Structure 1
């Protein structure tokens, strides 16, 4: 019986595969990869001139794991890392896993209050940090917090770089501090660690309230990295360019663990995303795969030097993290030679990927859906009452299986809000599922615009406006309206050198989309407010628009 025949007509599906889930810890799997591919290139960090084989990476990871034990850290202790993409980040990822420590990813964009909150929420005992990033002086922030007694649990601060800072340890010193006794302890620990142990805490950027610490296990992220890599048909011959942040699942799970589980090479073009550095890395390192959010691909395609780079080595990759504009997807396939590019969809709480397109799915499927469910995962789409909706109808996307987080750290109430009694993670995303099980994300539950009783999905209007030849990027939001409850507002970024008027954009929509979907307000902007991972912050756009247009008064009138 095939999957298509077996599928009921409700929006439910589950992924099947001849490949079983990996029942191992990250450390055990890491050791096997090192053995199998000892002389092959494992990690290339271009801005640090690092080029390590799997054997060299394995040696350094074991040294750091032993070094961390000299600090008196015990299994289950939390170790934070606050740094852009570096070789040390990757060493920390694998070394903490081998030492049974929980790695806490700290967003490089965090400032003082956010760092203080995150460190104390999970009671971090050690923090590895870069000296600074852009305008943020990390050393100063941490020194101030420690001096003011704001980080009572923090016992060790480990800084990157050669300079010394009073009261702090140097990463390279910690990495070489472990002796035979510590190395023996790491070996003794290996069989004691369990694949269901918590291994990683990632803070989800809450748009309201404090961020929540999604707690992930070896089993969660090792398997997700493996099946995402399987979806790309990765092999030891592949070289994956990773310009996305490591502190996020896209970098450390889909990137690093995707490579680990396939013996592929990890290539970091720069410490934070830079379109030119990414193009150079792909061309010079002969990368076969490239990751990015849509804004990153747009920045590369629009770079004035784009045509100078030979990108023919590219085969595949993933565009994810935000809805992928169809026109951008087509350009990535044709201009960047990524014929097998896939779209993936997920969230931090689900390790992260739940659905992914196949490399050989028809182009229409790959540009208009986020693919089908990954192996060993269940998905369903439900209405506001929690009932599974018929295929083709819109509802909230839910997922269940090995990929669902252990919970939000130290926050039972928030965990219960997100994961129901039957183990389903409620994503807050609106989706549809077609007859073949392909999923389309139509927006966020909270982004949906209700105009005069009509449900308006911003994604649909965005896709239409992308077709306008002058439009480079567009984001659609709902703003308060006295008469209809909400009105449609489009923020438009034009291609360089172009100008346009509100009337011109509305005329383009006339007769093409329903009248209630045509934007009432149009803002031409140079950039969109976004997070460090490239996610558009629609709530910020909404606030700014309300203030600029004076809509608050209307709403309360």
Structure 2
């Protein structure tokens, strides 16, 4: 398969307008939401997540939807189970719209069914981070105020000590949960419970999900997402695929019998939205991998003839280096999210798998994962770009510190205006107010610019800038330079306190080959970077750098560890 020619900005814009002109599924209208005027919002977002997906459940009824080992559920079977769970919540537990119900388990088919069922009941889904420890789990549940928890054995054991104190009902899923009041299987297989959607009115502007941010910079924020915001996000991703398919019909952007490997944790929006919900919307099969292993992933891709892969950059890199290329023949796209992909990995993948699409996206929990997208030759030609804004309801621009929108090409804080934006932070009015500029522009905290072609470039996080003697240094810029050194596979750049300059540049690197010549690495950086940007403190990690649950390198942990040990290479 040969990759198609890049899609120009003009061609892309014309394709967007042509599809909008047809109206139908992708019809839009001006909309005012919580006092903010939007030029475009999908008409379908005037309904609830439940009502929109009910139509899709009928359309794709006979297709395989959830595959786990030898277990297979069609869309109709999964939807029926979800509706039984929804009716159990409403009739047996008295759950009302706005009540919160938590999911705390690893990736299992039950996770997806519970998610759809909670939304159908009009309740608020609370996806709990399954990597959290006992106290973090307890705090997350307490803050949410959820009284019902769908959990597996490990999370059930962690919650058990506070079950009575918090008045919890445990629904044990998949495994034997000692403290379970009822099993998920008992509920969803009970033929006496209705398998049709509950007759509950759901306001499209009401909350459908409370999701916690990754919390790598402190206490996780609870982000409240609405039915309208969710639908605008998922519909936008579907719209993007349809535009691309029309512009390049020779490439299978929307393949026959589509399927995706589930590798990302479902408790984050990258997976819950662009994997679970988008798949339900488009009739795509979800295939679960119990634990990440690139060789096993390749075998499963071959067995199930999976067409799409989405993971964090390290997973895509693992596939490139360790999976049998013959196992990946069915893949049409290898996509990444959750973190920026190192430029060196793109070239390696393009050489290993010519003709396969590479894509990446930029979005946040607060935007329902919606933001930008980049793919195909555009990605190779602009590896440092975050991509074009996902059309048609979202705008992205750079702003100054005082809230003034900047001209194209000017650097500032990246802000997003979209009916897909979140409603509020949980019990934090001050943080919610501070998160927006006038006119509904969400402040991402990322620094960058939008060029004349409408392509977004992220330079750094505002709080991750190193300020060395008054000079601002982009961590991302230095990291990309270090990653261009042959022996460096991972790099993390951060500020090191310094009496003279306030901050100087520090870096920790890791090599899969086992060692890095730090003196040569610094000399390499000195050839490419201004002197003030070159790392003065270097550490070589004996193992792959620690990462948070979204796959991003855990910079806070690395700072803490390196502060305890002298640098392996130092220059003053």
TM category (shorter chain) comes to 0.7 to 0.9
State the match for 2:78 in structure 1. 57
State the match for 1:120 in structure 2. 142
1:56-455, aligned counterparts within 5 Å?
56-69=77-90, 70-132=92-154, 138-147=155-164, 149=165, 151-152=166-167, 154=168, 156-161=169-174, 163=176, 165-166=178-179, 168-177=181-190, 179=192, 186-189=197-200, 192-232=201-241, 233-234=253-254, 237-270=257-290, 272-303=291-322, 306-307=323-324, 309-336=326-353, 339-359=356-376, 361=378, 363-365=380-382, 367-375=383-391, 376-455=393-472
Question: Quick one: structure 1 residues 334 and 346, their matched pair in 2 at CA, closer, same or farther if it must change by over 3 Å?
Answer: same
Whole-angstrom distance in 2 between the partners of 1:259 and 1:370: 23
Shift of 1:79: 0.5
Contact 1:323 1:459 in 2 (8 A): no
State the match for 2:62 in structure 1. 39
Q: What 5-or-longer segments of structure 1 have no aligned partner? A: 8-14, 133-137, 551-557
Contact 2:60 2:76 in 1 (8 A): yes
Contact 1:381 1:388 in 2 (8 A): yes
SS at match of 1:42: strand
State the match for 1:10 in structure 2. none
SS at match of 2:535: coil
1:463-482 per-residue CA deviation (whole Å, 9 max, x = no partner) reads 12222111112121111112
Shift of 1:106: 0.3
1:461-472, aligned counterparts within 5 Å?
461-472=478-489
Tell me the C-alpha RMSD between the 2 structures.
2.5
1:144-182 per-residue CA deviation (whole Å, 9 max, x = no partner) reads 1124x2x25x3x1111235362562211123245735x5
Shift of 1:428: 0.7
Whole-angstrom distance in 1 between the partners of 2:425 and 2:539: 38
Shift of 1:264: 1.4
Contact 1:224 1:254 in 2 (8 A): no
Shift of 1:183: 5.3
Question: Quick one: structure 1 residues 317 and 228, their matched pair in 2 at CA, closer, same or farther if it must change by over 3 Å?
Answer: farther
1:529-540, aligned counterparts within 5 Å?
529-540=546-557
TM-score by length of 2: 0.86
State the match for 2:31 in structure 1. none
State the match for 2:49 in structure 1. 26
Contact 2:80 2:195 in 1 (8 A): no
Contact 2:214 2:549 in 1 (8 A): no
TM-score by length of 1: 0.88
Contact 2:359 2:376 in 1 (8 A): yes
Question: Quick one: structure 1 residues 236 and 43, their matched pair in 2 at CA, closer, same or farther if it must change by over 3 Å?
Answer: farther
State the match for 1:484 in structure 2. 501
Whole-angstrom distance in 2 between the partners of 1:177 and 1:187: 16
State the match for 1:457 in structure 2. 474
State the match for 2:248 in structure 1. none
Question: Quick one: structure 1 residues 336 and 223, their matched pair in 2 at CA, closer, same or farther if it must change by over 3 Å?
Answer: farther
Whole-angstrom distance in 2 between the partners of 1:163 and 1:33: 33
Shift of 1:236: 5.5
SS at match of 1:536: coil
Whole-angstrom distance in 2 between the partners of 1:44 and 1:439: 36
1:261-283 per-residue CA deviation (whole Å, 9 max, x = no partner) reads 2111122222x433333222222
1:372-405 per-residue CA deviation (whole Å, 9 max, x = no partner) reads 1122111111122222233223211111111110
Whole-angstrom distance in 2 between the partners of 1:220 and 1:499: 47
